[in-house]
Structure 1
Amino acid sequence: MEIRIIALIEAKPGHSIPLQEKLEALVAASRSEPGCLTYQLHRDTKNHDKFFIYEIWENQTVLDTHNNAPHFTHFVESTTDMVQTLQVNFLEAIHQP
């Protein structure tokens, strides 16, 4: 079963540019992972400190692999001082086309 996620990452004041650079690197590496169907980075149009990642993974196993991948753990460790808020939301589709 596909896993769909929207993650909100809000930068601490003054950290949005370096956080965006780290997020862009994370997106590039994550998109190349087996089982990654979608990994899109977005930014709030009114608050440039807020970023959103929309993810779709083939299943829980590939998501678990992603969460333990060196590029992901490096991202988490290297951005601790930049991130004010991190919220991960798992989505359930109500209607599929």
Structure 2
Amino acid sequence: MNLYVVALFKFNENYLMEAVELFQTLVRETRKEEGCLQYDLVEDEDNKGTFFMVELWESEEHHNRHNGQDHLLNFKRDVSKILESTTQVYKGTKTL
């Protein structure tokens, strides 16, 4: 069963360029992973500095493997220094 994930990130406007650079590497490498069906970064139109990652994984097992990948662990380490608030992550399966 496919797993849907949405992760919400908030940055101070002073760090937007740095954040986008970190996201570029993360997105590029994650899209190469087995079981990754969608991995898109979206910027909120009304809230500058607010981004959300829209993910679709073939299975929860694939997502769990993603969580141990070096590119994600490096991203988490580096992005934690510039986040305005704690990242929120929502996971679920398709209802309708």
TM-score (ref. length: structure 1): 0.91
Q: Please state how far the C-alpha of 1:16 moved relative to its aligned partner.
A: 1.4
Identical columns (%): 27
The amino acid of 1:64's aligned partner reads N
1:88 maps to what in 2? 89
User: Which whole-Å CA distance do the structure 2 matches of 1:12 and 1:65 have between them?
Assistant: 30
Distance 1:39 1:13 in 2: 23
Moved over 4 A (4+): none
Partner of 1:41: 41
Specify the SS of the correspondent of 1:8.
strand
Give yes or no for contact 1:5–1:90 (8 Å, CA) kept in 2: yes
**How many pairs were matched up?**
95
Q: Please list every run of 5 or more consecutive structure 2 residues that lacks an aligned counterpart in the other structure.
A: none
Cα displacement (A) at 1:84: 1.8
After TM superposition, the score normalised by the length of structure 2 is 0.91
Please state whether the residue corresponding to 2:14 is helix, strand or coil. Answer: coil
CA displacement 1:47-97 (0-9 Å, x = unmatched): 2200010001111111111010000000001111111231001133221xx
Unaligned segments of structure 1, at least 5 residues: none
RMSD, matched Cα: 1.1
Structure-to-structure mapping, 1:43-62, within 5 angstroms: 43-62=43-62
